[in-house]
């Protein structure tokens, strides 16, 4: 059974991982990089090295670009834009939602179908079905190439708005950093009393599954704009965060992260929402009620 041919432009760590996953799945893969030697290992595995961007784009109907930033995408593809007609461009370069929408319009103007992508893993996770790859843009392109893109990881279709993959990507990275920050703070706290990180972390991971249930509950409240405090009110959680701050001060642990949580909760309480659920804090982030 023949496999769809693919071109990968950009062979940094992530681009090389993408090309490697296509090769491993049996897809004829053409590669190009500004520094040709970056392609040597992939060529050794069966990839075809393109001498120019034009040659690389012309080799496949599916062109995946993974470079430094949006400016680099335009620099590479601008001179060969005429060759994009009838092809699908999948741009997994990190950028803003606004840049993604602009590039989608630019690609459409040159007769190409466009998908913007968000890679929710590091290079070692490429090729695993457990890794999420977010896509937004042309529904036709996603349907046509879904099977091929699935060799990289689980392809999640976010719909026709090309900016959504980038928007989800940045939001999810913020969530990741917040989780890491909370875990590191907690690890420092219990570690001050001699608890090893390896001993504490399995308990923390189990707790996160419960936190996920609260997130699902609060999501419905946010969409409805109603925040019944029928589980734990903000007033109760303000008292609880004081215990966390006290324990941290007693152990010399930096308290800036829980202090931020207390500040957000205090704002909601001051606005008269202490009896609401923690989901109400989304309105603080949105700036609801603040002067324009």
User: pLDDT value at position 174?
Assistant: 97
Topology adopted by domain 192-286: 1.10.1040
Q: What residues are paired with 132 via a beta bridge?
A: 120, 154
* pLDDT string in tens for the chain (292-residue length): 689 999 999 999 999 999 999 999 999 999 999 999 999 999 999 999 999 999 999 999 999 999 999 999 999 999 999 999 999 999 999 999 999 999 999 999 999 999 999 999 999 999 999 999 999 999 999 999 999 999 999 999 999 999 999 999 999 999 999 999 999 999 999 999 999 999 999 999 999 999 999 999 999 999 999 999 998 999 999 999 999 999 999 999 999 999 999 999 999 999 999 999 999 999 999 985 554 3
User: pLDDT value at position 287?
Assistant: 87
End-to-end CA distance of the chain: 60
User: pLDDT value at position 291?
Assistant: 44
With a CB cutoff of 8 Å and minimum separation 6, the contacts of 124 are 17
Q: How far apart are CA 160 and CA 274, in angstroms?
A: 39
Residue in the block written with tokens 């707790």: 207
**Contact in structure between 248 and 260 (CB atoms under 8 Å):** no
Q: How far apart are CA 201 and CA 85, in angstroms?
A: 51
CATH 1.10.1040.10 in the chain is located at: 192-286
Q: Which two tokens stand for residue 54?
A: 């034009």
CATH 3.40.50.720 in the chain is located at: 6-159
User: pLDDT value at position 209?
Assistant: 97
With a CB cutoff of 8 Å and minimum separation 6, the contacts of 216 are none
**Contact in structure between 13 and 123 (CB atoms under 8 Å):** yes
CA angle 56, 50, 136 (to 5 degrees): 35
Query: How far, in Å, are 27, 116, 172, 243, 261 from residue 278 at the CA level?
Result: 48, 33, 19, 17, 11
- Strands 29-32, 154-157: pairing is unpaired
User: pLDDT value at position 290?
Assistant: 52
User: pLDDT value at position 1?
Assistant: 63
Please compute, for residue 100, the number of CA atoms within 13 A of its CA located in the half-sphere on the CB side. Answer: 28
- H-run or E-run covering 23: helix 13-24
Q: How far apart are CA 110 and CA 127, in angstroms?
A: 31
CATH code given to domain 6-159: 3.40.50.720
Dihedral over Cα of 264, 268, 269, 273: its sign: negative
With a CB cutoff of 8 Å and minimum separation 6, the contacts of 128 are 121, 153
């Amino acid at each position: 059974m023949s496999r769809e041919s693919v071109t990968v432009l950009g062979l940094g760590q992530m681009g090389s991982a993408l090309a490697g996953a296509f090769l491993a799945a049996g897809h004829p893969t053409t590669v190009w990089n500004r520094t040709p030697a970056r392609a040597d290992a992939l060529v050794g595995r069966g990839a075809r090295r393109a001498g120019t961007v034009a040659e690389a784009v012309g080799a496949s109907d599916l062109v995946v670009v993974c470079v430094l930033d949006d400016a680099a995408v335009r620099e590479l593809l601008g001179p060969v834009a005429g060759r994009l007609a009838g092809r699908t461009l999948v741009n997994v370069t990190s950028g803003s939602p606004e840049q993604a929408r602009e590039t989608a319009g630019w690609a459409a103007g040159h007769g190409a179908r466009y998908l913007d992508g968000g890679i929710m893993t590091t290079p070692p996770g490429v090729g695993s079905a457990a890794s999420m790859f977010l896509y937004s843009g042309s529904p036709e392109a996603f349907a046509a190439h879904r099977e091929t893109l699935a060799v990289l990881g689980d392809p999640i279709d976010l719909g026709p708005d090309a900016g959504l993959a980038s928007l989800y990507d940045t939001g999810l990275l913020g969530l990741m950093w917040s989780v890491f920050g909370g875990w590191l703070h907690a690890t420092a706290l219990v570690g001050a009393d001699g608890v090893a990180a390896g001993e504490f972390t399995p308990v923390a991971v189990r707790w996160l599954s419960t936190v996920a249930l609260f997130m699902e509950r609060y999501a419905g409240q946010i969409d409805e704009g109603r925040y019944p405090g029928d589980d734990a009110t903000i007033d109760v959680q303000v008292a609880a965060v004081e215990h966390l701050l006290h324990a941290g001060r007693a152990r010399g642990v930096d308290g800036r992260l829980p202090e931020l949580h207390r500040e957000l909760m205090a704002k909601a309480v001051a606005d008269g929402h202490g009896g609401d659920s923690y989901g109400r804090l989304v309105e603080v982030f949105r700036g609801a009620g603040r002067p324009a």
